[in-house]
Structure 1
Amino acid sequence: MSRIKNTLNERGSVSDKALRQKASSVFRTLFENRMKPVRSSEGGFTIVELNMTIGLMAILSIGFMAIFTNFLVTNTRINTSIEMTSGSQILLRTMVEELRYGAGVRQTNTITDPNGPGAGWNTGNVNFVIITAVPAVDSSNNYIIDTSTGSPYMNEFVYFKQGTALYKRTLAHPSATGNSLKTSCPESVATSSCPADRKLVENLETMSFTLYDQDNATTANTALARSIKIDLTLSKDTFGNPITFDNSIRITLRNTF
């Protein structure tokens, strides 16, 4: 009887031990499953993976934007520099041809300009004005001669700075019959009979000239000038940084015709 009882006790002990082991295994399995990342049955992303993906995409986007912005800024600055270089060279080349072709620099305009300053135009560096005289020609490019002098009539060109732009005003000699040029006007009052002044260049920061006599000494007397040196500086702001370009040229004047 005692043996049977001991046997039953041993079996009960084994059963309790097995039950505890089984329960422990179940709880361990539940805990491990709870700690594992939850995935949908359709193979989606976890929240951690999604956050990492979004962060990576943001970093890549910022990098691409920085590269594109740098390219845009660099390209714009290069184009601006090329534009200013070309503009200054065209301007100086135009002035060179007209100054060499003409009868030199004049101190004041001799042809009345109804749209000019009250006291007329005066060559000077304060407001930057240069007045030049060129022979009047007809549509066939023949000189229009003043019979009283035997010399061609003279038209006048006035180069003047207004704001950050340089303009050229034409003053056609009123007595030159068949004159191929017309007197020009400010754009605000321009008409078919008085075309608008020609804008030669924009973004002009400074422009000055120096006159030299036959001894290569500087002079303020336009009648004694045998050459003129023109200096200009163009400047344009691009993305908060100004680009400047300097250019200069010296021209020999005819001064008589």
Structure 2
Amino acid sequence: MAEPGGGTESTSRVADVLLLFVEGPSTLGVTRIARELGLSKAVVHRILQSLAGRDMVVLDPVSREYRLGPSVAALGARALRESDLRSAALPLLRRLRDETRETATLSTPVPHGRVYLDQVVGLHEIKMTVELGRRFPLHAGSSGKCMLAHLDPEQRDEVLAAGLESLTPHTPIDPVALRSELDAIAARGWAVSAGERQADAGSVAAPVFGVGGDVLGAISVCGPRYRMTDAVATELGPRVVAVAGQISRRLGGDPGRTPVSGAGRTNAG
């Protein structure tokens, strides 16, 4: 059966099964996959058998659940090696980490959210780390918000209308208040977070732009909330914006930004 995107129903099902491992627990059983995707257990079993034959998933003989296999790890590693965004950002993330002593991260937008592509872990004894490859919503955390603030109005409206999941007590879930905050982020150039995605973490992030002004990703500096105070975030914001601008230029993008909500054009470099 053909699908609107040009694929087939069977290939879409295979992709959906693999993507469940990105967002869910590290191991999944046939029953849970079938329930999550609305498929029969027989169909899920056939898909998993096919994936296992190519080492894309591995069956745990004790739990009888599946986890991602070495072939998927190899694909992910190749994707990271070939990522222009990661290659352009990594040296500057290292410099930002050395200057701030806090963890520096790189995110990129994906359908229905964003994922961390890379991180350079901080130098403090107590430091923050992020989970690479796991999808997070755009509205939770500074990296997601600064990308969301620079999406075109239709994309932004779609995210705000889809329902805003609460990850912590501090996650912004009021679409009206969030829209106002996004306007401020677009005008200022950076976003801040205090416990929105992870309860005890604080961060400052700025967007990275490609050719044509599209948002390719975001970089952030993150640490424990007791160190990432409002004063520290205000001090770090312009520095993070400057580094994001350098990465944009490396990718042939314009480090200047055109705010979505009508504010004047400013330079983010």
Q: TM-score range by the shorter chain?
A: under 0.3
Look at both structures and tell me which one has the larger radius of gyration over its CA atoms.
1
More strand by share: 1
TM-score, length basis structure 1: 0.21
More helix by share: 2
TM-score, length basis structure 2: 0.20
